[in-house]
Amino acid sequence: MENLKSLNAGNFQKELDKLLDGMVKNQETGKRLFLHSCCAPCSSYVLEYLRAYFRITVFYYNPNISFEAEYQKRVAEQKRLIAACNAQETGYPINITEGDYEPQRFFDMAKGLEDCPEGGERCFLCYELRLRRTAKLAKEGGYDFFCTTLTISPLKNAKKLNEIGERLANDYQVPWLASDFKKKNGYKRSIELSAEYHLYRQDYCGCVFSKKEREQNQALKNDTSVIKTTYEKTAVRKDRTEKTE
Ligand code: SF4
């Protein structure tokens, strides 16, 4: 009930703080967390933050990523980051499990929603596709919690992610760890850590539709700056002409 109240209020960070405080107070750190990760940069802060409390297994399952070379690049960065974190021994050791790369599952799910803008209905189904598999494996693996790094992104809907997580927790009978990792400067810290570890930061979310949307927005931005530049040049020329007349 308490859980539901916090969810409705959207106090995901408060809820997480309370749980972590309780774990420390009751000397219950070291529980097993099955953490879905979308990419190394987003997971960097989450791993730094949570490895003090949990034995984490990162689950890299992202059938949404186009294309395979991009997928391989992102998963390699994820593994490199985990190896670097483990070398530091500043918390519990981190493991990784790689899910299958099955892009057709994503395309089947996205049918009819190809033109949906990023952040809309297609994304909610994409969150669920990835979290459902995470919840299922967390249950099978006897984990204490499951969770996702996705809430760190300002472009992702944390409320929706937590709603889906709670629903799946109910379906699979495995506790969901509520989060809004962008809070407490989490997103900012992930940028700092990405620079520190020289992580590859992709410039589109993952699917081919988000890539197309990003390219269109970029083209529009460039067009605007061309117009602006031309406009500014004309204004400067006009100004010079007026001064010499
Ligand atoms: S934009 Fe990102 S979250 Fe949305 S469907 Fe594409 S890959 Fe999934």
45-80 pLDDT, tens per residue? 999 999 999 999 999 999 999 999 999 999 999 999
Residues 127 and 238 in one domain: no
**79-91: average pLDDT:** 96
- Which 3 state secondary structure label does DSSP give 132? helix
> Distance, CA 209 to ligand 1 centroid (Å)?
8
Residues 157 and 71 in one domain: yes
Residues 6 and 125 in one domain: yes
Residues 225 and 163 in one domain: no
Largest CA distance in the chain: 83
> Distance, CA 219 to ligand 1 centroid (Å)?
20
Pocket of ligand 1 (CB under 6 A): 64, 118, 122-123, 126, 205-207, 209-210
Ligand 1: nearest atom to the Cα of 125? 5
How would residue 242 be classed by pLDDT, with cut points 50, 70 and 90?
A: very low
Angle ∠(187,188,192) on CA atoms, nearest 5: 115
pLDDT, tens only, 29-45 = 999 999 999 999 999 99
Residues 70 and 178 in one domain: yes
Domain that holds residue 226: 207-245
Ligand 1: nearest atom to the Cα of 62? 7
Residues 173 and 93 in one domain: yes
Residues 75 and 126 in one domain: yes
Q: In the numeric block, which tokens belong to residue 216?
A: 């269109």
Domain count of the fold of the chain = 2
CA atoms within 13 A of residue 63's CA, in its CB half-sphere: 22
Residues 101 and 27 in one domain: yes
> Distance, CA 197 to ligand 1 centroid (Å)?
25
